[in-house]
Amino acid sequence: MTKPLLKPMYPTLISNMIAKRNDEAVNEFERSFNCRVLEIFADNRRLNVEELKHDSEEFVKSLKTEFIWGETGKTKYVPITRLLKLLKNSPQSIQDLLPHKTVTTLVKITNFNLAIDITLIEELVKTVIHAEETYVKLLPYAENGTEISSYGLQDFVSAHYVPQMIEEPERADYYSAYAVGIIFFLLDSRRRENVYLKDLLSSTLLMHLELCIHAENNCLETPDIDVFRFTVAQFRNTLYEFRCLDTDRNGVLSPTEMTFFREGLFNAVFIQRVFEISMVYESGCLDFKAFVDLVAAIRFRHTMASAKYHFEAFDFKGDGILDEDEIRTAACFQAQALPEYAPSDDNVNIDIVTGELKDMLRLNKNGVSSKEFVNNRMNSTFTGFLSNYSDFLKYERREQ
Amino acid sequence: MSKIPVAKKGFRSWLSTNEGKPSKSVLYEQKYQIHHDRIRNKENMSEEEGHSSSFVSMVNPQPTAADYERYDADRRLKEKARDMRVAQRSASSSARNSLSMTPEPKELSPSSDQYFTPKRESSSGLEDEFVTPSTSKKDRRQRSSGSRDVTPLSTKPPRYMSSEEHAYYTTCLSRKMEENFTKMHDLVLSGHTLEEARKQAIAETTSTNDRSPRSSARRSSVETTVIVNRSSSQPAPIEKLNSIPLFSRTSSPGPSRSNDPPTVHTSYVDTLVATHRMHMQYADRVVVSVEKQMTKLESMKFLQNLASLSPAAEEVKRRKMAAEALRNLVETNEQREKKLEVVRDLKDRIRKITDVQLSTHQLVSNRPFKGDPYNERLLKSLDGWTSLPFHEFDVQTARELHLLQKKMLTTIEKFKNVASLHRNNNSRSFNTGRKSIAMKIIPSQHSTEASSSEPSRNPPNQSTREAATQVSARLADVAMTQTSPRKVGVEPLDLSSLEKASLEKRHSSSQTTPPRPSEDASQQTVFTESVVQSEAACDDTSKTAVLSITTPTILDIDEMLNSIQLYNESLETIDSFSHFKSDISYPSVSSEPSVETTPRSGRVSLDPESARRLSSGLSQLLDKIKKDNESVEAKIEPESEAEVEVNTGNVFSHPPPIIQEDSPSAESEVNSSNQSPPTNEDSEVELNLCDHDDTQFEHEMEEQEEQRKLRESIQTPTPPKPSEENYDAVGYGQSYIDPEDEEDETKKFTNNDEFERSLEDEQSDSMIREFNDSADDSGFLLDNKPAPRLKSIFDNVPTSDLRSDTPRISNVANDSTFNHLDMEEYCQKDYLPEIGPVMIHKAIELQGEIRGLDWISAQNVWKPPSFEDIQMDFYDHFDYFDSYSVLLWGAVVDLINVNYLKFDRKLTESEERTFEKEALDMLEKEFGVESKKNEWSKEVKMSKKLEGMIPYEIDYRYDIRRGLPETERQKYQWQQVQMTVIADRFPKKKLRDELDAVYNSEKENLGEVVISSELEQMLDSPQRSIKEKNPRVSDV
């Protein structure tokens, strides 16, 4: 009688939270127990946020009594000394909000007599509260308190953001997959199943997503951060591009279909490699997610994630090192197809081009590792040069 | 097609067939998938969403057959339209050729329709005609599959219900769609606008849903709409679609095109626009809404039949329509506004050109001025342009803008030539006695008043007036001859009113900062300079160039200022950050271009006296601290003492030997004779140096000040020093001060007058700073003025002896250093090296107490030197100092806590040494002189991952980044701060700990519950057993 009771009495899940996610062995009891724990956790957080909101309101209020005017009489500043006095009387949560590091940075941004612009502090408070709230909202979708799977995030997007849109995307599920695809790509976890909530929140990508939605809802011009392309219009474009490429209409892109990608402007060998480094189906076809990855890699070429993507693509041997041979090969392919686009007057000498590219990467005999490549400032130029013809020509003719 | 097994049926079916098989490539691992499915079904499905959306396979947006249908139809329609257009064009062009070369007034029928009105024969053979090879292939497939299946459209695997109703429903729906679409299509082709067609189609659909009254209702509705909308000569279209009369075109309706502007110019462009719009609308409304409706409906699996379905669908549709209509309305309004703005801008320009022409004309001749006919004509026609379609409008205005710019350039050139000619021959040939209008500048009453009375307090409503006077000042330059700008008495140019705008426009309008009047330069140079500059501006950003030429009245100037903003908000401008953080406003951006230092105006600076006091007081304080530490570090003492001495010497910029001199009294004398003239001179020098940033009015103020000082210094050749006893007494108490220093101090300042004056100086200084804060940084462009009255002043100062020469010369030589103590410089250069080591030793000494403290509470353990309690008069000045030391101490405490106090023990010797070194490095890098050399983007420390994301689209190459405007940097930095702060708040470990805590407490609760229940059972069972055992007992 006691035996079956004893076993569930000591659930052993949380100690290995990560394993739990894929743990098929969890039984009903354990699962419900976990749920309960998470719920309580979320409740605690929610209470904390409420408290923080209240405290910060008080803080900001008192901050507004302790300021000096800037010289134009428009901006309010609070000097460090006064801030210090205020903080001494504030609750711990507010003190945590402004650690020394942050204060120093704010001072540097303000750049005025070692004081801090009050709006900066206000915005900071707002941002933090927003992040905390988002965290609480995310918790039900997260597997545990620290990370969230792409599926969870998709659910979150379609549950929280899609209903906010006036003009809903054609397919909400694909929209969320699209947004999540970009988020995961930018967070450098393209092939991972989970992403840390910390990264997700601190990237503020969700905030941008919200802003994009807001902008689109109110017919505002999309904000600058539009680079993140979360708007429905952009989603529609991508989906349209995908469908246009999918000439046989089977829902995936085969290598032949992909040759027409962006009017064939892309290096054939690069496209070919894209299939090899992406998650493909049995027949070697790209699905929409992988396609979004590719588009994101091209769009955000200045990011680390994109640099890694391109590095993988050009690392033909797959040994984690980019060496001269590989560069030469890529350049050869690039040069072969070139005459169609470029007039004959600038014939490309492979040796020269390779040398130039080597210089660009400061390549030594051993080649360059992924890490070095990512840290290299020229990598976006490099990848553009090798991956598509328009950038190639742009670079070739930069002096003309 | 069947090569790819996945494709046909989607991921799920693929999964079900392939389950268990090893797959070649990376896929979603099956067990995860299963797990997820299970979890979802259990947990989430029961929750509020009701449907699972994200577990659709990513095989792709698997398009439904209807999608393809739609795309095909879409393309077909496009191609058809194109073909017709081509045909029409060729026909019309040939026709035109036969008639005349001028574009014909085009038979007065609204143009775009004619291309879409099908000929009878073409409309009959429509479908086949426009089938392209690729579609035909698909069609064939469909047809074949259609023959196989019940219907071609049911090939898509049902997602949520495999029931027959669903299949039936989808078929029905798509057939309906198909039907509606073709109907609509035909309607459109037959000359209806999209709205009408759509309305009809929708009316039909709605009536379809309730089947019984359908036919009659539909017919009537259709007929009514048709009759209302079309001209009566036309037959009702639906039933007789294929028998549309050939001439329908001629009578096709005007009203439907009411929002289309009358086409004035090329019909082709117009047609293009119309076609394009039609396509857009078509794609937007019909397709999207219908499709959306479909997907929505699909996903509602609780719907069992069609009947219950219809209201929801309608509702959705209605919502969409409303949203769409609203958006359209807003859009058109917006467009209209923008157009109006552009038109206004254009008009402004024309007016300005006319003005310039007028003044040129007046310089040259006596005859009345009759403007430029072209401009007049343009001015008249401009109003009509707003009704042009957007694209056309854009083209037209751009062209005109270009023309106007050219014209403006030539006009200016002409004016310049004429003006110079006029000036040269002023007395002779052109001696007409006329003044040009541009010269009649009456310095406005307000401005002079405003400038003479307290300029530091800007009344809030002054901005426009300011702007006006600024411009008039500039005008005075341009108009050169008669009045010297100095006499105009205008206020200094203060572009603060423009600052905001210019910031928002990302400094695109930086060209508008006008040349400032330079009093000493000759009129000639001023004039040419300004014109040259404006020309340069023309060349650079030809947009703003025009604006630097001005018109005399204040009204016009206001308008001009407005137009500066307006123009910059060109049609596509996105003002980005305001959406992002609409209410965030950054501190005024530094007016100096250098990244290296805080703007002068942003700094606190002290006058020499207080600087001296400050530094000597400081050194004493430090001495005291060091003496306290003596026991600990006996060996450091002597050299640091010397160091302090030297440093204080440096601060004063005295040559050290002076202090070393013999008797205190002699020294004081030497000092007194030595001190006062330099202070005067230095302030002069400083003022002169400030000239670069100063404006005319300030110059006047300064001049007066100088005069006054001069008089004073003559009257009192050797000013006695102010007594500072009270300061000392309050400040440091006797215990702090060495007798020597004390004496020195007391003797240094004995004159109250001097002290007061220093206060005055300070005030004027602060005033100057106030002015410098304006965005006008063009001052440095004009620094080629001859050196002002330096020499004369020095000559007149009676006490200028040999000694005083030395500092002066040095000051003149390196003009970047102020004898005026600059707080920032002082703190970074002199204070930091002294206090740094002290703080570090304190930190080591007090390590036990500061363990685990943050920068706030660490202040309670040890307080760095501060003026907080000492001198309230100079609170603002010492604020900087106090803040600086607070930050320093906080940084040291942070560092030692993070890196060295992890373990609960004292630091070892070697650790102490490394800490010392690291802390010194850190302080120097973060707070020292070097801190300004950091790349700005690196100022915020980020984790690797965040850095890699590069939140904004900023090129990471240094040179490009350096060129970014200030706002961009702040944006970027702000983003970085945001990221780091959030990242700090959600460390994995903390979260996990928190979760663990909850988990443990829950576990305990559970354990208690379980144990208590067990106990109860245990208790129960013995009782029972006892009962069972001893029934007798109870009986007894």
ipTM: 0.80
Q: Note the pLDDT of residue B920.
A: 85
Label residue A4 by pLDDT band (50, 70, 90). very low
| Residue numbers in B near A184 (CB within 8 A) | none
| Residue numbers in A near B599 (CB within 8 A) | 111
Whether the Cβ atoms of residue A159 and residue A140 lie closer than 8 Å to each other: no
Largest Cα–Cα separation, chain A: 90
**Closest residue in A to B137 (Cα–Cα):** A248
- What is the residue type of A183? I
Q: How far is CA A178 from CA A187, A242, A291, B985, in A?
A: 14, 12, 10, 28
| B981–A128 C-beta distance less than 8 A | yes
B218 vs B200: CA distance, rounded Å: 9
**Closest residue in A to B317 (Cα–Cα):** A167
Start-to-end CA span in chain B (Å): 92
Mean pLDDT of A203-214: 82
B134 touches chain A (CB under 8 A): yes
Whether the Cβ atoms of residue A331 and residue A357 lie closer than 8 Å to each other: yes
In a mutational test of the B interface, the residue from A35, A59, A64, A80 whose CB has the highest number of chain B CBs within 10 Å is: A80
Q: How many CA atoms lie within 13 A of B380 on its CB side?
A: 5
**Closest residue in A to B49 (Cα–Cα):** A159
- Closest by Cβ to A211, choosing from B18, B580, B890: B580
In a mutational test of the A interface, the residue from B939, B981, B996 whose CB has the highest number of chain A CBs within 10 Å is: B981
Whether the Cβ atoms of residue B114 and residue B249 lie closer than 8 Å to each other: yes
| A145–B946 C-beta distance less than 8 A | no
B9 vs A250: CA distance, rounded Å: 9
Q: What is the DSSP letter of A10?
A: S
Most confident of A65-69, A177-181, B151-155, B374-378: A177-181
- Closest by Cβ to A173, choosing from B56, B574, B988: B56
Chain B stretch 810-829, residues whose beta carbon is closer than 8 A to a beta carbon of chain A = 823
Residues present in chain A in total:
400
Phi, psi of B642 (to 5 degrees): -60, -40
Whether the Cβ atoms of residue A322 and residue A366 lie closer than 8 Å to each other: no
Q: What is the DSSP letter of B536?
A: H
Three-state secondary structure of B304-345 = CCHHHHHHHHHHHHHHHHHHHHHHHHHHHHHHHHHHHHHHHH
Mean pLDDT of A191-217: 82
Whether the Cβ atoms of residue A65 and residue A99 lie closer than 8 Å to each other: no
| A111–B602 C-beta distance less than 8 A | yes
| Residue numbers in A near B1007 (CB within 8 A) | 9
Phi, psi of A115 (to 5 degrees): -110, 170
Chain B stretch 713-772, residues whose beta carbon is closer than 8 A to a beta carbon of chain A = 769-770
A369: distance to nearest CA of chain B, Å? 17
Joined tokens for residue A3 = 């035996």
B21 touches chain A (CB under 8 A): no
Does A219 score more than 50 pLDDT? Answer: yes
Sign of the four-CA dihedral B44, B47, B50, B53: negative
B748 vs B724: CA distance, rounded Å: 8
A268 vs A337: CA distance, rounded Å: 9
Size of interface A-B (CB pairs under 8 A): 367
Q: Note the pLDDT of residue B644.
A: 39
In a mutational test of the B interface, the residue from A100, A216, A294 whose CB has the highest number of chain B CBs within 10 Å is: A100
- Closest by Cβ to A135, choosing from B884, B986, B1014: B986
Average pLDDT along chain A: 79
Strand spans (E) along B605-745: 605-606
B799 vs B794: CA distance, rounded Å: 9
B334 vs B337: CA distance, rounded Å: 5
| A302–B35 C-beta distance less than 8 A | no
Whether the Cβ atoms of residue B43 and residue A155 lie closer than 8 Å to each other: no
Q: How many CA atoms lie within 13 A of B773 on its CB side?
A: 23
Most confident of A94-103, A122-131, B941-950: A122-131
Does A15 score more than 50 pLDDT? Answer: no
Whether the Cβ atoms of residue B286 and residue B198 lie closer than 8 Å to each other: yes
Joined tokens for residue A165 = 């849109």
Helix or strand run (H / E) with residue B84: helix B65-99
Sign of the four-CA dihedral B486, B487, B491, B495: negative
In a mutational test of the B interface, the residue from A249, A292, A294 whose CB has the highest number of chain B CBs within 10 Å is: A249
Low-confidence ranges of chain B (pLDDT < 50): 1-7, 23-28, 43-60, 96-161, 208-265, 302, 304-309, 427-554, 557, 560-561, 563-604, 631-700, 714-819, 951-961, 1031-1036
| B995–A41 C-beta distance less than 8 A | yes
- Closest by Cβ to A188, choosing from B1, B945, B958: B945
Q: Look at residues A142, A120, A103 and name the one whose alpha carbon lies nearest to residue B986.
A: A142
Mean pLDDT of A188-193: 79
Please state whether B586 falls in left (phi above 0), alpha (psi between -120 and 50) or beta.
beta
- Closest by Cβ to B995, choosing from A145, A188, A288: A145
**Closest residue in B to A43 (Cα–Cα):** B998
| B35–A279 C-beta distance less than 8 A | no
Label residue A50 by pLDDT band (50, 70, 90). very high
